[in-house]
Amino acid sequence: MTAPTQLSTVDVPEPPAAPVSVVVRRASLARRLGVAGAGLLVSLVVVAAFAPLIARHDPDVPTGVPYDPPSVSHPLGTNDVGQDLFAQLVFGTRVSLTIATLSALVAIVVGLTVALLAGYHRGRLEAALMRLVDLILAFPFMVLVIVLAAFFGRGLLTTVAIIAAVIWARPARVLRSQVLKVREYQHVVAARAMGASPSRCICRHVLTRIAPLTAAQFVRAANISVLLEAALSFLGLGDPNRVSWGTMLYFANARNAFLTDAWLWWILPPGLALTVAILGFAFLGYAIEELADPRLARTAPRHRRRRSPNRPPTTSAERRPAGVLEVHELSVDYLADPPVRAVDRVSFTVGPGRITGLVGESGSGKSTLVMALLGLLRPPGRVVGGRAVVNGRDLGRLQRAAVAQVRGREVGFIPQNAMNALNPAYDVHRQVAEVAALTRDRAAASERASEVLELVGIPAARHRSFPHELSGGMRQRVVIAMAVTNEPALVVADEPVTGLDVVTQARVLRLLLELRDRLGLAILLVSHDLPLVARTADDLLVMYGGRIVERGEAGAVSAAPAHPYTRLLLASFPSLRGPRRLVGEAPGGPIGVGAPPDGCLFHPRCPERVDECRCTVPALAEVGERHEAACLLSEP
């Protein structure tokens, strides 16, 4: 028996695995530039490291006739005192890169320290540090460098200190904004609530999150440092005892190289070397910034719907899928010692034009399953088995970049909290248009945004409103508009009515039903509210402990629940129409992250358990027409 194809845990689709040449062509421009930039910098580092072997002469000792033209002995000729210009260029690489690297390192250390202190501890310390940052940034950049250099004198360490003192403020401001964001992540808040010290939170949680952005800021600072060192040396404010690219330009200018033909080999080579270094740092910085924020990556070409010529032949089953979404034996683990099984061999189908409800308590594995299906599962979560098929396309066989093309196009997603899903800095029309632009040009995307906002019940007068100007129900409608704007075949709604009042919940669910009927959507509706989902869905999946314990048509499951867990879920919600009664609850709580119990996962909480439940794992079995349950007591 062959092992099941693993579902990709990142990004979403286009036709399956493409040849390496196709993947390379699809690589983003920033990453290709990053490779080129790294190559340029590596070549400069090699020159600096092996300068004594590359240059035949001492850069400070006259070894030829003044203004000697290029020759075999002197590839770039000599200057006005007979010093070898090629040797000065090679050894100058050492000085220029050393100053750039040290200055950037000092600036990032200072900037990162200020960012962590200001962003994490806040209060008066933040106010004082950020006012200092504002003061540094308020001064004219180059004027401040010149004044400091003239005041403190010349020297390598002095130059490093001056450059670092000027450029640390900008990384500090950028990194502080990221620290402010990361410190409010739920896991960081939870760590603080559980008594973790600030130093532990910073080292374990904050620094790891902002490390890619810190690396990008370091490369940017090194780029600026190369320019500043050259500028200071050209003005005569650099270290006079060490040859750098900037000092070569200074002496060429001071000794009237432009009046002779010597400028061709005295000025152009260090100028070209500076250009190579600047481009290398800039290109590498682009790539690292994209890694730090994948949203900067270029999107795939629009309107590209045709199949790849390299797509492997499809089977008849793939050409005629039984459902829009088919999940087969999907399993997800969270890496630990031992691994924790969060989703265990889950299988189900979402049919075209049908609403499938996925219900269960918090901790039952619903959100993990959804994130795995969308390719958004983050470490330490990992899909370890099974596969998912959308419209006949096996997501596990796709490249990572191809999986990302499914989200927002073939699969729409409605997250739990609408306010967190909307950017407070932009009006809602612009945000919907941004999603529409995945498949249209700008003008068509704007028109589609207006159309879909009207479709979900947002009047034209409110299209230019910002999220904070809308009610919770209207914000939820905007998120639904973003999910359906590209007419996906499947919409995954993860707790779409959480936090809304009962009336607004009914309106949002009614809207989903209308959109299903008008657009022919298939909807996977995830919630903990079984009665609410049962009134909306066509099919029901009841999940507990990462497994499906009951499934079937919504009417059959809610009218005659076969699993004790389903009955307890229904009993835990009061009825608005039936007689008044005490609301029940399942004893205990969901199974923890440790070792699951033997036998039936629900038996420790089940009021109907028998001795056999402690040692036998029940499988899904038919209990009626299109109705299955995983319970020994319900087996015929």
Whether the predicted pLDDT of 148 surpasses 60: yes
CATH number at residue 275: 1.10.3720.10
- Express as a percent the part of the chain with pLDDT over 70: 81
Structural contact between residues 534 and 357, judged by C-beta atoms closer than 8 angstroms: yes
Is 318 within the bounds of a domain?
no
Q: Domain range spanning residue 616? A: 539-634
Q: Number of H helices and number of E strands within the chain?
A: 25, 12
Predicted confidence at residue 110, as pLDDT, reads 93
Domain edge (last residue) among 247, 265, 295: 295
Is 300 within the bounds of a domain?
no
Is 277 within the bounds of a domain?
yes
pLDDT digits (tens, 9 = 90+) for 59-85: 888 888 888 888 888 888 888 788 888
Is 284 within the bounds of a domain?
yes
Is 252 within the bounds of a domain?
yes
Exposed e or buried b for every residue in 211-227, given b needs 16+ CB within 10 A? ebbbbbbbbbbbbbbbb
Domain edge (last residue) among 267, 295, 323: 295
DSSP states of 144-168: HHHHHHHHH---HHHHHHHHHHHHS
87/421: higher pLDDT: 87
For residues 524 and 491, give the distance between their C-alpha atoms in angstroms, rounded to a whole number: 6
Cα-atom radius of gyration of the chain, to the nearest Å?
32
Nearest CA-CA partner of 160 in 97, 203, 202: 97
pLDDT band at 17 (very low <50, low <70, confident <90, very high): very low
Report CA torsion sign: 5, 7, 8, 14: positive
Predicted confidence at residue 205, as pLDDT, reads 82
Nearest CA-CA partner of 347 in 320, 373, 379, 371: 373
Domain edge (last residue) among 244, 270, 295: 295
Is 339 within the bounds of a domain?
no
Is 372 within the bounds of a domain?
no
pLDDT band at 114 (very low <50, low <70, confident <90, very high): very high
What is the mean pLDDT of the segment spanning 469-497? 86
pLDDT band at 358 (very low <50, low <70, confident <90, very high): very high
Q: Residue 281: how many CB atoms within 10 A of its CB?
A: 25
pLDDT digits (tens, 9 = 90+) for 555-602: 888 888 888 888 888 877 665 555 555 455 556 666 655 567 778 888
Predicted confidence at residue 19, as pLDDT, reads 38
**Total number of domains constituting the chain:** 2
pLDDT digits (tens, 9 = 90+) for 225-250: 888 888 888 887 777 778 888 888 88
Is 191 within the bounds of a domain?
yes
Report CA torsion sign: 446, 506, 414, 439: negative
Instruction: Name the pTM for this structure.
Output: 0.53
Whether the predicted pLDDT of 5 surpasses 90: no
